[in-house]
Structure 1
Amino acid sequence: MTVTNQATLTDNLEAVLYARELIERNQSVLVLAEDVAPFAMLVNEYGDLVHTVEIGEGADAERAAIILYAHEATDAVDAIIVIDRAAPQSTRQHQSGTPVPN
């Protein structure tokens, strides 16, 4: 399985809604966030289609390394969603490199 969607979103609500949208299209999702508690209901409801990893507030280089590792090492998900409150805006991108409208 190859990651076909990648998103950097600035808030949990937007991320939960986007994750649900992807899951309802039968895509598995990996969520990387400082606080993964808001995704517990999705995990309960959809099981193995949702994976969460808590990432700390560490240095940007450390966070970037974690995200890169997740992107390269996982073959178990279709999409990666990163919650980054410091991002200037939310972005979504399809594997083709084409930005997806928010």
Structure 2
Amino acid sequence: MVAGDNPGRLNNEASFAALCGVSPIQASSGKAQRHRLNRGGDRRANSALYTIVLARLRWNTRTRDYIARRQAQGKTRREAIRCLKRYVAREIYKIITTPQRT
């Protein structure tokens, strides 16, 4: 697991995203404003997030609507998937850091 046995070491969801390698890095040139994924971080966690995104794209209509909406805003499919990976990282961070009842 990326967070290990100590998820409290993660200060916020942005640090978890950076640890997974899905934090956005500005890759703008000229007039084009765009971002790319951080190539640092745990590649296995990044791969797991990508697998989750692909499964959601296949079976979840809300996710398909989200991708269509992002593409209508002018983003490429690849950029839309980047945004979706960050969204999934936020959801997982909330699950990891929420105390469990026993």
The bucket for the TM-score relative to the shorter chain is under 0.3
Point out the structure with max Rg over C-alpha: 2
Identify the structure with the greater strand proportion. 1
RCO greater where, 1 or 2, for CA within 8 Å and sep 6 or more? 1
